[in-house]
Structure 1
């Protein structure tokens, strides 16, 4: 199998719609396993975050001139979760996504390592993220990359939904 090559870079403002489309496509599989009202709110929040302005870096993976993945990197204590009383002393990764047909090619791990590199450059000693139990493939990747559970940062955004905290210390 031929290795796929991609580059990582900061997103351009005119790429927000593409990033949103990639993320919505990547997260669509969770609609069937999340409570319907929660999914509607989650998807709305995802789109609003990706379309809006924010105190975060938009990082993309590009292959052959097309975007194939993206991630948001928030600085420490940036209140990255609207409505959740979560504030961390370390940078936070959100909305890691790649086109479903591009999974398994190292794009997600490369985007996560780029977030880690940037966090270290900014002087951070660790980096965090939040995910849900239904995101099993992502959790396996995070754990392979050295992330460990931080139950003290878990939160419950809706009935029967627990968002799980993870952190990787360098």
Structure 2
């Protein structure tokens, strides 16, 4: 199936409680598969998988969007508003983009584009100054995708955590 076939059939909507299980499993599958192929040294602990699967907690503080193809949830992304609990944004009036993932069988078919278009449109509706996100150090392909969309590497927002180093990127929407 070509990229245009899939993208032309995508419907983006806000996640509902009944989507939580599907989204959680999609996140775990996409992250584990993606990083296993590209960064084999990355290990996803059971604790990390539990966090990814806890979609209800994300929906309580963020807007979680899903991509559907033929009625099936095949992608997701979350946008945390400025000041939301668990936000990793480091500048004022900035939304935090997290957990972009697509079903493994759709990788490379352009499915992230409509999700990113929708989440960036939502950020503009909110009137924020920027959208922040983090990429695991070493995930150059993921970083390039964001850079092609206008996100700029912003080292002052980097997160050096005990198990991972996350590189910061920022998309300015104003000024």
The TM-score bracket by the shorter chain reads 0.7 to 0.9
Aligned to 2:76: 70
Aligned to 2:66: 60
Pick the aligned partner of 1:28 from 29, 32, 38.
32
Pick the aligned partner of 2:165 from 158, 162, 166.
162
CA contact (8 A) 1:78 1:87 kept: no
Q: Which 5+ residue runs of structure 1 have no aligned equivalent?
A: none
Deviation, structure 1 residue 45: 2.7
CA distance, structure 1, for counterparts of residue 79 and residue 135 of structure 2: 14
CA distance, structure 2, for counterparts of residue 106 and residue 114 of structure 1: 14
Deviations along 1:13-67, one digit per CA (max 9) or x if unpaired, are: 1110000111111001325321x4xx3143333233x242531001000000101
Aligned to 2:152: 148
Pick the aligned partner of 1:119 from 123, 132, 136.
123
Q: How many residues align?
A: 162
CA contact (8 A) 2:62 2:80 kept: yes
Alignment of 1:84-103 (within 5 A): 87-89=90-92, 90-103=94-107
How well do the aligned residues superpose, as a CA RMSD in angstroms?
1.9
The TM-score normalised by the length of structure 1 is 0.86
Aligned to 1:136: 140
CA distance, structure 1, for counterparts of residue 135 and residue 102 of structure 2: 16
Aligned to 1:3: 5
The TM-score normalised by the length of structure 2 is 0.83
